[in-house]
Amino acid sequence: MTALISEDLIGSLNAKARTAHEDDFASLDRQLSRRGIDIEAMVERAMGWSVAVPTWGVGTGGTRFARFPGPGEPRNIHDKLADCGVIQALTRGTRTVSPHIPWDKVSDYKALRQEAAQYGLGFDAVNSNTFQDQDGQARSYRYGSLAHADAATRAQAVAHNVECIEIAKALGSTALTVWIGDGTNFAGQQNLTRMFENYIAAMETIYAALPSGMEMFLEHKMYEPAFYSTVIADWGSSLIAAQTLGPKAKCLVDLGHHAPNVNIEQIVARLIHVGKLAGFHFNDSKYGDDDLDSASVDPFRLFLVFNELVDAEARGAKGFNPSYMIDQSHNVTDPIESLMGSAVEIARAYIQASLVDRKALAEAQAANDALGAHRTLKAAYLTDVSPLLAEARMRQGGAHDPIAAYRADGYRARVAQERPEVKGASSGIV
């Protein structure tokens, strides 16, 4: 294993925090004991938790207006893996990365897999890209890709996705995530039905190339880049497509890809009901697909999503095995800090949801005790599980405070010496 952050530094900072941490942990232990919850079981649960980091997330993001690169930005997939290794070393809850093709293209994927393993990392879902043109490609995606009116353009987009399946195999990944920007900007620009049929037919060809054990994640998004209609705009279109394609096709929920105020946790419940929940792209938003840091705007919504997930796990819902990934764009922060903070917040929501007294909740629901049921949820949500999460990190060699340790280590300044600023490097918003 390659140490990216000084282990001595992590150890000394953890030692400094030890007395206060033990006091806080013991207090939480007493509180949870009164509620009949075994803190050790919860620490084990937190230690088993992991969320994938997107390779595009470690570079500074941007908007369609501008991108403001920061110092020491990753120049390629090798730098990105190192940055993801730092996040894992300090948080111990991000054991996989989700790569993006062609942004992360290399000639030897077996070697890349070994390189990631040096940082304790594996590969989660591989993301294809037919929402922008690549150097040297024969046909443009300006008017779409898998749903394009032209069969040859659709075939080109299919071939790219099939190549991504081969890359996923080599990386040891078990999923292909397909998000397309296809849609229209004008009423009448295309036939809405034909576009969807083109998409389904193209996806059927990709689906046929999936090896056994590999799944296909369909990611819907309400709008952007198309603003009048989007082919896979919502979970309804996504579910119709997934059900048409077959059991290996499932629906991915990106928290930012819905209309404002939509009840996302209910969508999650519906997808669990039909055994079609692929997993998540975690982020937060206020207005649209803002790609803000997870739980930075509405931590209660994230908790409510996890409440559905923990409920499904507790009752052994059929086909329930979601993949968890972060999908954020960091414009005003150090991306490594944002991703570490988000990883901690997502783990927090998972553990808080695990504290819900499900028996009391079921009883309150059976008795139509609306406020009693709500108070049961709130009791879990309002529990500060920070000491429990810190304990889980430290037991695995991580940091009591990942962001403080990262700042003390000076990793960013160190890599800034080795990585000259790249103008116009890809901003990843997917």
Out of 254, 290, 291, 409, name the contact with Mn ion by CB under 5 A. Answer: 254
Site string for Mn ion, 67-106 (x = CB under 5 A): ----------------------------------------
Residue-wise DSSP of 320-381? ---EEEE----SSS-HHHHHHHHHHHHHHHHHHHHT--HHHHHHHHHTT-HHHHHHHHHHHH
**What is the rounded distance in angstroms from the CA atom of residue 10 to the CA atom of residue 389?**
16
Contacts of 136 (CB under 8 A, 6+ apart): none
By CB under 5 A, the residues from 293 to 332 that bind Mn ion are 327
Return the range that interacts with Mn ion (CB under 5 A); candidates 47-55, 203-211, 279-287, 395-403: 279-287
CB-wise, 335 or 387, nearer to Mn ion?
335
| Lookup: tokens for 123 | 């590969």
Smallest distance, Å, CB 258 to Mn ion? 12
29 binds Mn ion (CB under 5 A): no
CB-wise, 95 or 281, nearer to Mn ion?
281
Out of 160, 281, 348, 412, name the contact with Mn ion by CB under 5 A. Answer: 281
Q: Omega before 387 cis (within 30°)?
A: no
Return the range that interacts with Mn ion (CB under 5 A); candidates 19-27, 81-89, 163-171, 274-282: 274-282
How many binding residues for Mn ion (CB under 5 A)?
Answer: 3
CB-wise, 52 or 87, nearer to Mn ion?
52
Which residue's entry shows tokens 């922008």? 132
CB-wise, 254 or 345, nearer to Mn ion?
254
CB-wise, 327 or 409, nearer to Mn ion?
327
**What is the rounded distance in angstroms from the CA atom of residue 401 to the CA atom of residue 414?**
20
Contacts of 69 (CB under 8 A, 6+ apart): 60, 421, 422, 423, 425
CB-wise, 252 or 380, nearer to Mn ion?
252
By CB under 5 A, the residues from 350 to 389 that bind Mn ion are none
Smallest distance, Å, CB 323 to Mn ion? 12
E strand segments, 204-267: 215-219, 229-230, 249-254
Quick check: 132 and 15 in contact, CB under 8 A?
A: no
Q: Omega before 225 cis (within 30°)?
A: yes
Smallest distance, Å, CB 255 to Mn ion? 9
| Lookup: tokens for 161 | 């996705």
Give 222's DSSP letter: S
Smallest distance, Å, CB 327 to Mn ion? 4
CB-wise, 281 or 412, nearer to Mn ion?
281
Smallest distance, Å, CB 374 to Mn ion? 31
Q: Could you list the residues that contact Mn ion (CB under 5 A)?
A: 254, 281, 327
